[in-house]
Protein backbone atom coordinates (compact mmCIF):
# COMPACT_ATOMS: atom_id res chain seq x y z
CA UNK A 1 0.00 0.00 0.00
CA UNK A 2 1.04 3.56 -0.69
CA UNK A 3 2.14 5.76 2.23
CA UNK A 4 -0.49 8.26 3.30
CA UNK A 5 0.53 11.85 3.95
CA UNK A 6 -0.98 13.52 7.02
CA UNK A 7 -3.37 16.36 6.17
CA UNK A 8 -3.61 17.88 9.63
CA UNK A 9 -7.35 17.21 9.69
CA UNK A 10 -8.42 15.78 13.05
CA UNK A 11 -11.10 13.12 13.21
CA UNK A 12 -13.01 12.07 16.30
CA UNK A 13 -15.37 9.28 17.20
CA UNK A 14 -18.02 8.89 19.86
CA UNK A 15 -17.30 8.44 23.54
CA UNK A 16 -19.50 5.35 23.51
CA UNK A 17 -17.73 3.82 20.48
CA UNK A 18 -14.86 1.36 20.69
CA UNK A 19 -12.39 0.71 17.90
CA UNK A 20 -11.41 -2.97 17.92
CA UNK A 21 -8.78 -4.85 15.98
CA UNK A 22 -6.98 -8.14 16.29
CA UNK A 23 -3.64 -9.17 14.84
CA UNK A 24 -1.52 -12.24 14.48
CA UNK A 25 1.85 -12.54 16.24
CA UNK A 26 3.55 -10.46 13.54
CA UNK A 27 1.06 -7.61 13.87
CA UNK A 28 -0.93 -8.35 10.70
CA UNK A 29 -4.58 -7.42 11.04
CA UNK A 30 -6.93 -10.41 11.29
CA UNK A 31 -10.04 -8.50 12.41
CA UNK A 32 -11.25 -4.90 12.33
CA UNK A 33 -14.66 -3.80 13.56
CA UNK A 34 -16.92 -1.35 11.77
CA UNK A 35 -15.79 1.58 13.94
CA UNK A 36 -12.14 0.89 13.03
CA UNK A 37 -13.04 0.82 9.35
CA UNK A 38 -15.17 3.97 9.47
CA UNK A 39 -12.71 6.07 11.49
CA UNK A 40 -9.64 4.89 9.56
CA UNK A 41 -11.42 5.31 6.19
CA UNK A 42 -10.36 1.84 5.04
CA UNK A 43 -12.41 -1.04 3.69
CA UNK A 44 -12.11 -4.42 5.37
CA UNK A 45 -10.39 -5.95 2.33
CA UNK A 46 -7.79 -3.15 2.49
CA UNK A 47 -6.71 -3.93 6.06
CA UNK A 48 -7.01 -7.70 6.55
CA UNK A 49 -3.56 -9.26 6.30
CA UNK A 50 -1.86 -5.86 6.39
CA UNK A 51 0.49 -4.79 9.19
CA UNK A 52 -1.23 -2.77 11.90
CA UNK A 53 1.41 -0.11 11.25
CA UNK A 54 -0.73 0.72 8.21
CA UNK A 55 -2.41 3.32 10.45
CA UNK A 56 0.79 4.52 12.15
CA UNK A 57 0.96 8.30 12.23
CA UNK A 58 4.54 9.51 11.67
CA UNK A 59 4.25 11.81 14.71
CA UNK A 60 3.72 8.92 17.10
CA UNK A 61 7.17 8.25 18.56
CA UNK A 62 8.93 5.05 17.60
CA UNK A 63 9.89 4.60 21.24
CA UNK A 64 6.23 4.26 22.17
CA UNK A 65 5.82 1.35 19.76
CA UNK A 66 9.07 -0.14 21.07
CA UNK A 67 7.59 -0.07 24.58
CA UNK A 68 4.24 -1.39 23.35
CA UNK A 69 5.76 -4.36 21.53
CA UNK A 70 8.14 -5.22 24.39
CA UNK A 71 5.19 -5.17 26.78
CA UNK A 72 2.76 -7.32 24.79
CA UNK A 73 5.41 -9.73 23.56
CA UNK A 74 6.32 -10.18 27.22
CA UNK A 75 2.74 -11.32 27.83
CA UNK A 76 1.50 -8.15 29.52
CA UNK A 77 -1.16 -5.62 28.62
CA UNK A 78 -0.55 -1.93 27.97
CA UNK A 79 -2.63 1.22 27.86
CA UNK A 80 -1.28 3.90 25.54
CA UNK A 81 -2.22 7.18 23.91
CA UNK A 82 -1.68 6.79 20.16
CA UNK A 83 -2.20 9.13 17.24
CA UNK A 84 -3.34 7.11 14.23
CA UNK A 85 -3.44 8.05 10.55
CA UNK A 86 -6.50 7.34 8.40
CA UNK A 87 -6.31 6.40 4.74
CA UNK A 88 -7.43 9.89 3.72
CA UNK A 89 -4.67 11.58 5.77
CA UNK A 90 -6.84 12.58 8.74
CA UNK A 91 -5.51 11.72 12.18
CA UNK A 92 -7.35 10.43 15.21
CA UNK A 93 -6.17 10.01 18.77
CA UNK A 94 -7.03 6.90 20.76
CA UNK A 95 -6.56 5.57 24.25
CA UNK A 96 -5.56 2.02 23.37
CA UNK A 97 -5.70 -1.09 25.52
CA UNK A 98 -3.56 -3.76 23.87
CA UNK A 99 -3.46 -7.29 25.22
CA UNK A 100 -2.05 -10.64 24.15
CA UNK A 101 -4.64 -13.15 22.91
CA UNK A 102 -4.06 -16.63 24.32
CA UNK A 103 -5.18 -20.08 23.25
CA UNK A 104 -6.69 -22.68 25.60
CA UNK A 105 -3.19 -23.67 26.80
CA UNK A 106 -2.21 -20.08 27.57
CA UNK A 107 0.11 -19.60 24.60
CA UNK A 108 0.03 -16.16 22.97
CA UNK A 109 -1.49 -16.51 19.49
CA UNK A 110 -2.05 -12.86 18.61
CA UNK A 111 -2.99 -9.47 20.00
CA UNK A 112 -6.23 -7.62 20.65
CA UNK A 113 -6.65 -3.85 20.83
CA UNK A 114 -9.65 -1.88 22.06
CA UNK A 115 -9.47 1.88 21.61
CA UNK A 116 -11.59 4.63 23.09
CA UNK A 117 -11.75 8.32 22.37
CA UNK A 118 -9.37 10.12 24.76
CA UNK A 119 -10.03 13.44 26.44
CA UNK A 120 -8.62 16.48 24.61
CA UNK A 121 -6.90 17.55 27.84
CA UNK A 122 -5.05 14.22 28.05
CA UNK A 123 -4.05 14.45 24.38
CA UNK A 124 -2.66 17.96 24.90
CA UNK A 125 -0.57 16.69 27.82
CA UNK A 126 0.72 13.58 26.07
CA UNK A 127 1.60 15.58 22.95
CA UNK A 128 4.22 17.42 25.04
CA UNK A 129 5.78 14.12 26.11
CA UNK A 130 5.73 12.76 22.57
CA UNK A 131 7.30 15.95 21.17
CA UNK A 132 10.30 15.40 23.44
CA UNK A 133 10.48 11.76 22.38
CA UNK A 134 10.43 12.76 18.68
CA UNK A 135 13.19 15.28 19.34
CA UNK A 136 15.32 12.44 20.73
CA UNK A 137 14.63 10.42 17.58
CA UNK A 138 15.62 13.23 15.22
CA UNK A 139 19.37 12.66 15.39
CA UNK A 140 19.20 9.01 14.33
CA UNK A 141 19.13 7.63 10.81
CA UNK A 142 18.30 4.03 11.67
CA UNK A 143 14.78 3.35 12.94
CA UNK A 144 16.05 1.01 15.65
CA UNK A 145 18.39 3.69 17.00
CA UNK A 146 15.63 6.32 16.88
CA UNK A 147 13.29 4.00 18.79
CA UNK A 148 15.92 3.32 21.47
CA UNK A 149 16.68 7.05 21.86
CA UNK A 150 12.97 7.89 22.02
CA UNK A 151 12.29 5.24 24.63
CA UNK A 152 15.27 6.43 26.69
CA UNK A 153 13.87 9.98 26.52
CA UNK A 154 10.50 8.68 27.74
CA UNK A 155 12.11 6.86 30.66
CA UNK A 156 14.06 10.00 31.56
CA UNK A 157 10.86 12.07 31.46
CA UNK A 158 9.04 9.52 33.60
CA UNK A 159 11.84 9.66 36.20
CA UNK A 160 11.04 6.26 37.70
CA UNK A 161 7.30 6.39 37.03
CA UNK A 162 5.86 3.68 34.78
CA UNK A 163 4.30 4.69 31.45
CA UNK A 164 1.00 3.11 32.60
CA UNK A 165 1.06 5.43 35.62
CA UNK A 166 1.43 8.42 33.30
CA UNK A 167 -1.50 7.18 31.20
CA UNK A 168 -3.75 6.75 34.23
CA UNK A 169 -2.74 10.15 35.61
CA UNK A 170 -3.91 11.66 32.32
CA UNK A 171 -7.09 9.58 32.25
CA UNK A 172 -7.93 10.97 35.68
CA UNK A 173 -7.32 14.54 34.51
CA UNK A 174 -3.83 15.04 35.92
CA UNK A 175 -0.76 16.64 34.36
CA UNK A 176 2.06 14.89 32.52
- Domain ranges across the chain: 19-171
Average pLDDT taken over every residue of the chain: 95
Task: Tell me the pLDDT tens digit for each residue of 109-127.
Answer: 999 999 999 999 999 999 9
Residues of the chain whose pLDDT is less than 70? 1-2
How far is 44 from 118, CA to CA, in rounded Å? 24
For residue 175, the model assigns a pLDDT of: 75
What is the pTM (predicted TM-score) of this model? 0.94
Given the candidates 3.30.420.40, 3.40.50.880, 3.30.450.20, 3.40.50.300, the CATH classification of the domain at 19-171 is 3.30.450.20
Amino acid sequence: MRATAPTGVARTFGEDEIIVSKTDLKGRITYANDVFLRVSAYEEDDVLGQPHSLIRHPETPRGLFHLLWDTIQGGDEIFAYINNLARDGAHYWVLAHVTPTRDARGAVVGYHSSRRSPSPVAVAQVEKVYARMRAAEAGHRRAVDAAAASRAALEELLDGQLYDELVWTLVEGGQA
